[in-house]
Amino acid sequence: MDNAVYLSVENVNLAFGGTQALIDVSFNVSEGELLAIIGPNGAGKTSMLNCINSFYRPDKGRIIFKGHDLTRLSSHRVAPLGIARTFQNIALYTGMSVLENLMAARHVHMNHGMIAGALYFGRAQKEEVENRIVVEEIIDFLEIEHIRKAIVGALPYGLRKRVELGRALALEPKLLLLDEPMAGMNLEEKEDMARFILDIHELQGTTILLIEHDMGLVMDIAERVIVLDFGLKIAEGTPDEIKNNPTVIQAYLGEEFGASPPDVVSQ
């Protein structure tokens, strides 16, 4: 594995009124790595991704990706750098078809402007076809050909999660941020999703930052794990190290509503 630092999060602090969502969080991601962030509810995991997306602006700290300080960019400038994202509560374009959702994500890869688009001549039409080919490949990869013209608002939950992954892939990301991609799925759907994630990681070498509650899955697929609790990074290491880390076990067992603490130990 390449050890060069790809994404570096440095002393990020974020507060909402009284709640400290992130306290002095630092970590690095290497190119081609599959890193998981875990932690109890409200630990600050989603907030961390939102900071990387420059959707929240940290009160303090920097996030460097390929030489750019993401915290200084407007949120729409992050995606063109090659950072794509799926969301904890699916955030698809509900009124569009699957195909259109993916095509919409090709936005940053297309150049034609307002006038070319309105005339639909030359460049515009050519770009539409070229990008359509990329999108169709992703659709084939995710095995969603049969629903490509269905309106996503009407699809079942599991499929919508998959389409959302497809939309993120359509950006051809260098860094893929996945916020609980398997939450609320049944076992079979989870396995499919895990397979897709691993394929993306291995076949395309995409760097992946994954938030997931299902410990078993995280331990199986992640190369490295970071644990957040109440905004603090309390542990970092390989899945094995995390499993046996006493602070982590404490955090999960001490957590009243913690969903699956025993998994940590038993797996």
Ligand X SMILES: Nc1ncnc2c1ncn2[C@@H]1O[C@H](COP(=O)(O)OP(=O)(O)OP(=O)(O)O)[C@@H](O)[C@H]1O
What does the binding site for other proteins look like in residue numbers (CB under 8 A)?
A: 16, 50, 53, 55-56, 74-80, 84-85, 87, 89, 91-96, 100, 103-108, 110, 112-114, 117-120, 124-125, 127-129, 132-133, 136, 149-150, 167, 171
Tokens of 36: 């998981």
* Phi, psi dihedral angles at 66 (to 5 degrees): 50, 45
Sole window of 45-53, 92-100, 112-120, 249-257 interacting with ligand X (rule: CB under 6 A): 45-53
Assess 257 for contact with ligand X (CB under 6 A): no
Task: Closer to ligand X by CB, 46 or 86: give it.
Answer: 46
Residue with tokens 């993401």: 70
Selected range binding Mg ion among 15-23, 46-54, 126-134, 139-147, rule: CB under 5 A: 46-54
Stretch that binds ligand X, among 24-32, 44-52, 90-98, 141-149 (CB under 6 A): 44-52
Q: Is 19 in the site for ligand X (CB under 6 A)?
A: yes
19 binds, among ligand X, Mg ion, other proteins, none (CB under 5 to 8 A by kind): ligand X
Neighbouring CB atoms inside 10 A of 194's CB total 19
What angle separates helix 122-141 from helix 98-105, to the nearest 10 degrees? 120
Nearer to ligand X, 45 or 148 (CB): 45
d(Cα 158, Cα 90) in Å, to the nearest integer? 10
Q: Which backbone phi and psi does 137 adopt, to 5 degrees?
A: -65, -40
Structure-block tokens of residue 80: 């063109």
Tallying the residues shown for the chain, one arrives at 267
Which residue, 96 or 232, has its beta carbon nearer to other proteins?
96
26 contributes a contact to ligand X by CB under 6 A? no
From the list Mg ion, other proteins, ligand X, none, partner contacted by residue 62 (C-beta under 5 to 8 A by kind):
none
Q: How far is the CB of 264 from other proteins (least distance, A)?
A: 28
Q: Supply the minimum distance, in Å, between the C-beta of residue 213 and ligand X.
A: 7
182 binds ligand X (CB under 6 A): no
What is d(CA 176, CA 84) in angstroms, rounded to the nearest whole number?
Answer: 5
d(Cα 124, Cα 173) in Å, to the nearest integer?
Answer: 23
Contact between 15 and 60 (Cβ < 8 Å): no
Give the residue closest to Mg ion by C-beta: 46
Residue 178 Cβ, how far from Mg ion at the closest point, in Å?
11
Contact status: 88 vs ligand X (CB under 6 A): yes
Secondary structure of residue 59 in the 3-state scheme = coil
Structure tokens at 32: 């081609």
**What is the DSSP-derived secondary structure letter of residue 77?**
G
Cα 36 off chain centre by: 10
Name the site residues for ligand X (rule: CB under 6 A). 16, 19, 21, 39, 41-47, 88
